[in-house]
Amino acid sequence: MSSVDTTTDAAGTIGSDRFVEISYDDVIPNNVELSSDKQLQRALETWRPNYLDWWNDMGPEGYQQSEVYLRTAVGVDPSGWAKFGHVKMPAYRWGILLAPKVEGRTIPCGRHKGQPAWQDVPGEYRSLLRRLIVVQGDTEPASVEQQRYLGATAPSLYDMRNLFQVNVEEGRHLWAMVYLLVKYFGKDGREEAQALLERRSGQEDNPRILGAFNERTPDWLSFFMFTYFTDRDGKMQLAALAESGFDPLSRTCRFMLTEEAHHMFVGETGVQRTIEATCAAMVKAGVKDPNDVEAVRKLGVVDLPLLQRKANFHMSVTRDLFGSEISSNAAEAFSSGLKGRFNEANLKGDDHVLQDATYGVSRVVGGKLVEEQVPALRAINSRLLDDYIVDCQGGVDRWNKVIEKAGIAFKFVQPHKGFNRRIGEFAGHRISPLGEVLTEEQWQAESGRWLPNDADMAFIGSLMKPCHERGNYASWIAPPRVGINNQPGDFEYVRIC
Ligand SMILES: [Fe+2]
Ligand SMILES: [Fe+2]
């Protein structure tokens, strides 16, 4: 095991030390030949102290001086890009890393399909491209802000470390988008890079751009649900942008996807370990009925129906992130070649231009759910959402296996696509998890069974007690099967100070 010792290098100097000459090739791991691009270097030098100010203000509260066992990206080859070592978060080596260039890569979709991929910004699409990068970039610091208070209630040092790993990598994702803005968009790119540090999650006068990123992440169950369901939206968006005809964006996103995989792992295993603790406690106490909530909660674990309600909430809020199912903006992003579909270059069975193709979209017409064929170009968001829902199912199935093995009669399901939506085709309609169109009165009478209620949140809050001793875990969550980087069970993932 190698370790990254950054405690003494210039990356650790923040605030008043900002004028120290910094060798950026040393401080910022990069494979974009940063040292030979003076203009880019200057732009990043100007932005970096502001980033560190933001990190210190809005990053993990209370643990900035603790030493965290983090992985740092130091290369892009799949076998050896990560190094592990104890690092203070403000000294994390946020780097700029692009996946290797694919020689001869062509634009995979739209009206420029088959032409060489752009190495520079295509002038006619400049503002649309900038907007796509800004919207993606805005989600990265937003999630750090949403999660900043969770350290204090971490159910173990292992989980605390995973939270901080996700946080520093979201910070790196911001760097990745800022690199594109300042390298390719001149003055307005630099202004956008600054604005990314100024918006704040949940703040009324200058909120983050997308709704779900202004919601609170008040507890660890929310964090696990967020990293399973909402980071997976991140995966789908990055995958679609990895198909971009603008090659620097494609290469940036391809590398980001390798990090995103860990975030979803944290979410999936976090929920799974919660389920394991619940099932084990129920079996031990002889509680057979998963709906006997009172008996289950007495055991200090989370009842399965509550987990389903939490999942319902996070799924529905995340589905809104895909935007309107039918969208002319999405059509233009696709036709211009700036954003593909999921897995675009490898999709068989259509021409990747979609001029005459159609796609089935669920809509509410005359109080009934129907599927309508609409021009496929205008249904790009709808298709990405459908692909996302399929992608979510794997983890849900694995969670159900744990419950089945314990012999408990309960099964998690994904609610209907239209359930609890605020954006797109289902906004303004009331749809049950099973897909029935409801009246407002029916919804008001029933929705407390489908979404977390105040008593649920209070119960979850009561479980959120810190468990910060080496090798110990809170009652409601099982230990992981394997440690990070194969470390033993009592490993000190965070040296708190
Ligand atoms: Fe991210
Ligand atoms: Fe992520």
- Ligand 2 centroid distance, CA of 497 (Å): 26
The CA-based dihedral angle spanning residues 123, 128, 134, 136, taken in that order and rounded to the nearest 10 degrees: -120
The Å distance, Cα 271 to ligand 1 centre, comes to 20
CA 148 to ligand 1 centroid distance, Å: 15
How many helical (H) and strand (E) elements, i.e. helices and strands, does the chain have? 14, 7
Q: How many CB atoms within 10 Å of residue 229?
A: 28
Residue with tokens 């102290």: 49
Centre of ligand 1 to C-alpha 229, Å, is 13
* 69 beta partners: 86
User: pLDDT at position 5, please?
Assistant: 32
Distance 167 CA to ligand 2 centre (A): 8
> Ligand 2 mean position to 441 CA, how many Å?
38
Exposure of 138 in the CB half-sphere (CA atoms within 13 A): 23
Taking the model in full, what pTM does it have?
0.93
Ligand nearest to the CA of 256: 1
Q: What distance in angstroms lies between residue 171's CA and the mean position of ligand 2's atoms?
A: 10
What pairing do the DSSP bridges indicate for beta strands 82-88 and 494-495? unpaired
CA of 411 to the centre of ligand 1 (A): 30
Question: What distance in angstroms lies between residue 251's CA and the mean position of ligand 1's atoms?
Answer: 15
Q: Which of 51, 54, 55, 95 is nearest to 72 (CA)?
A: 95
Q: Are 404 and 277 in contact (CB under 8 A)?
A: no
Closest by CA to 96, choosing from 181, 161, 155, 162, is 181
| Nearest-ligand number for the alpha carbon of 238 | 1
- The rounded Å distance from CA 21 to ligand 2 centre is 32
Ligand nearest to the CA of 255: 1
Instruction: Write the CB contacts of 68 (distance below 8 Å, at least 6 apart in sequence).
Output: 86, 87, 88, 89, 160, 161, 164, 165, 493, 494, 495
234 alpha carbon – ligand 2 mean position (Å):
6
DSSP bridge pairs for 73: 82
Q: 227 alpha carbon to ligand 2 midpoint, in Å?
A: 7
The tally of CA atoms less than 13 A away on the side-chain side of residue 111 is 8
- Say how many Å lie between the CA of residue 397 and the centre of ligand 2: 22
Torsion-angle region of residue 190: left (phi > 0), alpha (psi -120 to 50) or beta?
alpha
**pLDDT tens, the chain, 497 aa long:** 333 333 222 232 333 332 223 344 567 788 888 888 989 988 998 999 999 999 999 999 999 999 999 998 877 776 667 889 999 999 998 989 899 899 999 999 999 999 999 999 999 999 999 999 999 999 999 999 999 999 999 999 999 999 999 999 999 999 999 999 999 999 999 999 999 999 999 999 999 999 889 988 999 999 999 999 999 999 999 999 999 999 999 999 999 999 999 999 999 999 999 999 999 999 999 999 999 999 999 999 999 999 999 999 999 999 999 999 999 999 999 999 999 999 999 999 899 999 999 999 999 999 999 999 999 999 999 999 999 999 999 999 999 999 999 999 999 999 999 999 999 999 999 999 999 999 999 999 999 999 999 999 999 999 999 999 999 999 999 999 999 999 999 999 999 98
Structure tokens at 212: 């779900």
CA of 231 to the centre of ligand 2 (A): 5
Q: How far does residue 30's CA lie from ligand 1's centre (Å)? A: 18
- Tell me how far the alpha carbon of residue 296 lies from the centroid of ligand 1, in angstroms: 35
- Between CA 158 and CA 491 the distance in angstroms is 8
**Rounded CA gap, 391 and 84, in Å?**
29
DSSP, collapsed to helix, strand or coil, labels residue 333 as: helix
Q: How many Å apart are CA 33 and CA 398, to the nearest integer?
A: 43
Q: Give the ligand whose atoms come closest to the C-alpha of residue 230.
A: 2
Compute, in angstroms, the gap from residue 189 CA to the centroid of ligand 1: 19
Judged by its nearest atom, the ligand closest to the C-alpha of residue 136 is 1
DSSP secondary structure code for residue 7 in this structure: S
Which phi and psi (to 5°) does residue 445 adopt?
Answer: -70, -30
Tokens of 137: 């970039």
Taking the CA of 140 as reference, the closest ligand is 1
